Amino acid sequence: KKVERGCYTWSSPSNIALVKYWGKREHQIPENPSISFTLDACRTTTTLSFSKKDSHKYFSFEVLLDGKPKNDFEPKIETFFKRIEAYLPFLKDYHFKIETSNTFPHSSGIASSASGMSALALCLISLEKQLVMDVMSSAVETTQIESYFNQKASFLARLGSGSACRSIEGDLVVWGNHKDIDGSSDLFGIKYPFEVHNNFKNYHDTILLVDKGEKQVSSTVGHNLMHNHPFAEERFKQANQNLSKLTHVFKVGNLKAFTEIVESEALTLHAMMMTSLPYFILMKPNTLEIINKIWNFRNETGLNICFTLDAGANVHVLYPESEAKKALEFIQNELVAYCQNGHYICDRIGFGAKQL
Ligand code: PMV
């Protein structure tokens, strides 16, 4: 079908891993399966405008962040386009204007790669849909078409940034092949297919911005540190085991066991960085202050507040809906003081990307 010009807008969320992805092979294949909560408030909105190209450049695109040209995003997009060209043959026929904005501040230490790459992948999939829809048989069910395109969006997002493939759907997403999770794949994220206890519905994630600076270690460098890492094989095994344990925890609603797995995963991620060559410490003194405060509070109150970390100093504080009032009071009274300029973001489990 001939399509001269048009535009699509998608809003896509960030996600926070419970079992971490750290270590990959060629073509963005993860060394171990991971699972994440899809977030709700932390999102990227991307508008992709396209028109038939007249330039000689192989890929023709411009990128704007908050309405201003963002040349330093171009190499990432160029690499992304090269990786996905084989799956979207129309890519070189158009000029693309990519206008993007985040709900969280650009320099907040919150990575925008998951929400950004998934939003862009979804815009491109919308265009593909427009191009191929008439040739798809009307015998194919709408739900089947939707799930095909969602899967392909996740597949493409993975090629932009691994964890981005977990940002298409919600509320829990598994990426990476796991022996007990039917349908799980290294190539795309899937909605967690098993029963989840009510304890985990509407879970909260308050993100404490301890250090808003640029990442000390890019995730590409970080993943590469797992090649020849002395503990890599054990770590990959452990991630598989933790995912098995979590499926049971989700079924029975065991919040104590959840805390143990999630905190151990966060600390293991950081332990991998401390024990690689070169080695890194990505936590800051305030990260440790917060962790100790959370542990003390949990001991004193018996509440189920726990933490997880990304590859940085910020702390994600997780707690169930039933304890939200007390947890937030504690966070505001005791933890916010350790945030840079007192900044934090109240987020919770969300349900995936939306077309606007
Ligand atoms: O998607 P990447 O390549 O930026 O890697 C993200 C890795 C972690 O955020 C540290 C863990 C994860 O599973 O999201």
Q: What is the pLDDT of residues 121-174, one digit of tens each?
A: 999 999 999 998 767 666 677 888 889 999 999 999 999 999 999 999 999 999
Measured from the Cα of 310, ligand 1's closest atom is 10
- CB within 6 Å of ligand 1 — which residues? 17, 20-22, 34, 111, 113, 161-163, 219, 269, 310-311
The stretches of the chain forming alpha helices (DSSP H) are 74-84, 113-132, 142-160, 219-224, 232-252, 255-274, 285-301, 324-330
> What rounded mean pLDDT belongs to the chain?
95
* pLDDT attached to residue 139: 67
Q: Provide, rounded to the nearest whole percent, the portion of the chain with pLDDT above 90.
A: 88
- Going from the Cα of 322 to the center of ligand 1, the distance in angstroms, rounded, reads 29
* Lookup: tokens for 326: 């007390």
Reduced to 3 states, what is the DSSP secondary structure of residue 35? strand
Pair 24, 223: CB distance under 8 Å? yes
What is the number of the ligand 1 atom nearest to the C-alpha of 164?
1
The per-residue pLDDT for 229 is 97
| Residue 254 banded pLDDT, cuts 50, 70, 90 | very high
Residue 222 alpha carbon to ligand 1 centre in Å: 9
Domain boundaries, the chain: 5-194, 202-348
Q: Minimum mean pLDDT among 115-129, 139-153, 269-283, 329-343: which range? A: 139-153
CA of 125 to the centre of ligand 1 (A): 23
Name the residue of 12, 21, 217 whose CB sits within 8 Å of the most ligand 1 atoms, as the mutation to test its pocket.
Answer: 21
Q: How far away, in angstroms, is 198 Cα from ligand 1 center?
A: 27
Instruction: Say how many Å lie between the CA of residue 15 and the centre of ligand 1.
Output: 9
Cα of 253 from ligand 1 centre, angstroms? 26
- The pLDDT of residue 137 is 63
This complex has an ipTM of 0.99
Q: What is the model's pLDDT at position 344? A: 96
- The answer to whether the CB of 320 falls within 8 A of the CB of 206 is no
Matching CATH number, 202-348, of 3.40.47.10, 3.30.70.890, 2.60.40.3120, 1.10.10.10: 3.30.70.890
Residue 29: alpha-carbon gap to chain centroid: 15
Q: Mean pLDDT, to the nearest integer, of 240-252?
A: 98
Residue linked to tokens 């009510």: 198
Percent of the chain with pLDDT over 70: 98
Helix and strand totals (H; E) in the chain: 8, 14
pLDDT over 80 at 215, yes or no: no
Cα(82)–Cα(156) distance, rounded to whole angstroms? 11
Strands of the 344-348 sheet, one edge to the other = 306-309, 315-319, 204-208, 344-348
How far apart are the CA of 296 and the centre of ligand 1, in A?
A: 28
- In angstroms, the CA 36 to CA 248 distance is 16
Q: Which two tokens stand for residue 332?
A: 């505001």
- Cα distance between residue 204 and residue 319, in whole Å: 5
> Looking at the domain 5-194, which fold is it?
Ribosomal Protein S5; domain 2 (3.30.230)
Task: Ligand 1, residue 21: give the atom nearest the CA.
Answer: 13
Shortest-distance Cα residue to atom 6 of ligand 1? 163
What average pLDDT score do residues 60-87 get? 95
pLDDT at 15 over 90: yes
**Residue of 54, 51, 73 whose CA lies nearest to 62:** 73
Q: Which of 14, 18, 22 to mutate to test the pocket of ligand 1 (most atoms within 8 A of CB)?
A: 22
Ramachandran assignment for 27, one of left (phi > 0), alpha (psi -120 to 50 degrees), beta (any other): left
pLDDT at 232 over 80: yes
Res 117 pLDDT > 80 = yes
Query: Tokens at residue 208, please?
Result: 């404490």
| 20, 44, 270: residue to mutate for ligand 1 pocket, most atoms within 8 A of CB | 20
- State in Å: Cα 5 to ligand 1 middle: 34
